[in-house]
Amino acid sequence: KQWYQRRVAITAGITNNLSRCHKMLYQRKIEIGRVCYVRLGENAGKTGVVVDLVDQKHLLIDGPDSGLARSVFRLNQIAITDLKVKIPRGCKTKVVRAALAKDDIPAKFLKSGLSKKSEAQQAKAALGDFARFKLRVSKTAHNKKEKSTDPGRNGHSAL
């Protein structure tokens, strides 16, 4: 009987802790009208709107403003954003274009962190050999300076 009472107490403690710190794993739901960014493939870097759900792993996306033709994408090819427009399921490109213009989605997307991150990656990829070398040298110098000015870093004292 004692082992059963201990087991019940442990189980109750675990469920109480789980209910206190319960958070949703995903904050952005995949739904009709959700604005997304194409990460991989020939259309990488373009934005579109989810028009329809094909199955568990495929979405029909249309992006009239970014030159993205209506096509099916896998979920691992896209990144879902916080932006959403109100459109009916399976609507035409004309309706999508009007909804994007009404909510000013292209301008809002340019202000998002995902857009800034992709621009930074493209700028870094466009660097030449000497520019990459200069960047590496400046980062090394900056890190050495930071390490020398922080006496308690990683438990070591600066010499």
> Per-residue pLDDT tens for 50-99?
999 888 889 999 988 888 899 999 988 898 888 889 999 888 989 999 99
User: β-strands 47-53, 68-74: how paired?
Assistant: unpaired
Alpha carbons 74 and 42: distance in angstroms, whole number: 13
Q: What is the pLDDT of residues 26-58, one digit of tens each?
A: 667 788 889 999 988 898 889 999 999 888 889
**Report field, pTM of the whole predicted structure over 0.75:** no
pLDDT at 12: 47
Q: How far apart (Å, rounded) are the C-alpha atoms in residues 93 and 58? A: 19
Amino acid at site 153: R
